[in-house]
Amino acid sequence: MSGMASDHNTSSQEEYVPHYLQKEDPFASKLSREADIIAGFYLTVIGILSTLGNGYVIFMSSKRKKKLRPAEIMTVNLAVCDLGISVVGKPFSIISFFSHRWIFGWIGCRWYGWAGFFFGCGSLITMTAVSLDRYLKICHLSYGTWLKRHHAFICLAIIWAYATFWATVPFAGVGSYAPEPFGTSCTLDWWLAQASVAGQAFVLSILFFCLLFPTAVIVFSYVKIILKVKSSTKEVAHYDTRIQNSHILEMKLTKVAMLICAGFLIAWIPYAVVSVWSAFGQPDSVPIQFSVVPTLLAKSAAMYNPIIYQVIDCKFACCRSGGLKAKNSLKKSRTYTISAHGDSVAMNETQLE
């Protein structure tokens, strides 16, 4: 029985032909021209807002680069990844949607797939590192104090090496990049899982190391932070005023980081679900018109972060203006500044010396 099942599985894999080999032109759009134009306009707006927003964040951060805290350095790296997706990737898909077909051939397809996966993986791993930093700073104050700027730069090197490795692995012959079912975009070849056991191993490795494991670390970190916050008031009260103020500011950064991670995961999880279903479900069972929606939602992730920073900035501006009178009444004060991206999130705390 098991032998027959194995033979059936092997034969079904051998018989499976991915969507991009079923027709002579894998890059022809499977959507209507009207749908392509709407998608093109949508990505144009997303691309412009993302480029301007993340570019502004990087510019403002560069003006005070020597004063950036470790957590700020990591979130600046997130803006670099988001800007990379917008500048390197989105023009290809925008032009293709308006052209009603992918016009850059297989070389352009593989480049676009590599760039999208590289910057997307870099974003997720950066957020994983930020969540661990927040976890140490909030839940283990004694450990968090030794996390310095040079640790952040070492972490950046690891992040870029990690993203480069997994994005380049498909070129080593164990995977590939292929056109999406709707034809005007490219991604990892999830459909290899339908063709062979080696393809299944490749897809499962990508899912674990570039999605499930980082997401699990993020969820673990913020769950522990939430639990810690509920019981941290009495513990922090035993420290001096400066550490108490620092803890309050770290919590502000933590809230920003949690919003960033939530926005990223909300944007990418639907795409991940559709991709997994395409890889391990019934061949071609995901309708083409349905598959384009999660793709467009995922491409909008790079736009959310600058909006989050500006919303938080407006919220804290009221606190800053409300604290001016108290600040003027102090004979001697020290100002502590916290920033998630450049000057986007600032909160002034005064301490009597």
Give the pLDDT of residue 185: 93
Whether 319 shows a pLDDT value over 90: the answer reads no
Give the pLDDT of residue 240: 53
Q: pLDDT category, 69, cuts 50, 70, 90?
A: confident
Give the pLDDT of residue 278: 83
Phi-psi domain of 205 (left: phi exceeds 0; alpha: psi -120 through 50; beta: other): alpha
| Average pLDDT estimate for 138-146 | 71
Whether 75 shows a pLDDT value over 50: the answer reads yes
Give the pLDDT of residue 108: 95
Q: pLDDT category, 244, cuts 50, 70, 90?
A: low
- Torsion, Cα of 264, 134, 115, 273 (10° steps): -40
Flag the least confident range among 98-102, 247-251, 291-295. Answer: 247-251
CA 263/CA 5 separation, integer angstroms: 43
Secondary structure class of 263 (helix, strand, coil): helix
Give the pLDDT of residue 344: 37
Higher-pLDDT residue of 286 and 51 is: 51
| Average pLDDT estimate for 267-272 | 89
| Average pLDDT estimate for 324-350 | 37
Give the pLDDT of residue 250: 65
Alpha-helix residue ranges (DSSP H) falling in the chain: 2-15, 33-62, 70-84, 90-99, 105-139, 141-144, 149-168, 197-207, 213-230, 232-237, 241-280, 288-299, 301-322, 324-328
Give the pLDDT of residue 346: 37
- The residues with which 334 forms a beta bridge, in sequence order, are 351
Classify domain 33-318 at the CATH topology level: Rhopdopsin 7-helix transmembrane proteins (1.20.1070)
| Average pLDDT estimate for 315-333 | 42
Give the pLDDT of residue 52: 92
CA 39/CA 23 separation, integer angstroms: 23
Give the pLDDT of residue 137: 80
CA 227/CA 224 separation, integer angstroms: 5
Q: Which long-range contacts (CB under 8 A, 24 or more apart) does 240-247 make?
A: 241/351, 241/352, 242/351, 243/141, 245/336, 245/349, 245/351, 246/336, 247/138, 247/141
Q: Which long-range contacts (CB under 8 A, 24 or more apart) does 32-37 make?
A: 33/100, 35/289, 35/292, 36/97, 36/98, 36/100, 36/184, 37/97, 37/98
Secondary structure class of 35 (helix, strand, coil): helix
CA-closest candidate to residue 306, choices 265, 344, 250, 338: 344
Q: pLDDT category, 333, cuts 50, 70, 90?
A: very low
Judge whether 206 and 166 are in contact, CB under 8 Å: yes
| pLDDT tens-digit map of 97-135 | 999 999 999 999 999 999 999 999 999 999 999 888 888
CA 182/CA 27 separation, integer angstroms: 8
Domain boundaries, the chain: 33-318
CA 155/CA 128 separation, integer angstroms: 11
Secondary structure class of 255 (helix, strand, coil): helix
Higher-pLDDT residue of 195 and 298 is: 298
Higher-pLDDT residue of 311 and 259 is: 259
Higher-pLDDT residue of 150 and 146 is: 150
Give the pLDDT of residue 324: 39
CA 106/CA 109 separation, integer angstroms: 5
| Average pLDDT estimate for 213-219 | 92
Whether 303 shows a pLDDT value over 50: the answer reads yes
Give the pLDDT of residue 302: 83
Across the chain, mean pLDDT equals 78
List the end-to-end C-alpha distance of the chain, in Å, as a whole number.
Answer: 80
Q: pLDDT category, 331, cuts 50, 70, 90?
A: very low
Higher-pLDDT residue of 12 and 77 is: 77
Residue 297: is it exposed, middle or buried by C-beta count within 10 angstroms (0-12/13-18/19+)? middle
Flag the least confident range among 131-140, 173-182, 265-274, 313-322. Answer: 313-322
Secondary structure class of 9 (helix, strand, coil): helix
